[in-house]
Structure 1
């Protein structure tokens, strides 16, 4: 009971939604496309970090100022770089990011084919006379 009471006392009030439901919907749409800079594996919309809350407030301000979604996104990318986007644009600095998985797949498949071909070409080593005689004794039951 004491733990439940302590949690209830320490709980913060819910953050108020925007006055306009359309603004809130646009905010969620934009924030889902952005990475929380503190959590890094969580979207800006789902993060509870203080920086994420500040950025959501900033996005609300920009939306209310009449900025388009693209302008809001450009503002945040200019400020924090392409890292803030979950899907960075395709440009020379991100080619490896976009093409890297395919490149690794091709390299891995090539290595696997080379290893399998090498394994096919190497058969069992031929037996010398001593090993052949020993195998014959073992097969006959002579130890």
Structure 2
């Protein structure tokens, strides 16, 4: 019985460390119904030994490099907010990226939202969001 418990505990520990080490692409999710409701594309990644303030400055640069406008950095909230109007309709898509302390490092979360009636290719959004998230260490 002890042997089984030891194996189970080892498997659980391995699973926990695997989850913590997942990449931005693996953490990507989409919620909402395209064309019917707003759609939120979300992802995150943990960066060991990275300070949130250092990440925040690099994230703002990453957001700019991806073509977003109206970039606002809030050091108190450790966030970057921006928007884009890819269709030229005046109906903005919004982005929020947050860098927060997690253990000895930083967790970077990104949320890109489009309005009801708009569509976006999730593969393209995943690539763009992960480029931004990973800019925290570039």
Would you call these one fold, judging by a TM-score over 0.5?
Answer: no
TM-score by length of 1: 0.24
TM-score, structure 2 length as denominator? Answer: 0.25
Is the helix fraction higher in 1 or 2?
A: 1
User: Quick one: higher RCO (CA 8 Å, sep 6+), 1 or 2?
Assistant: 2
Larger Cα Rg: Structure 1 or Structure 2? 1
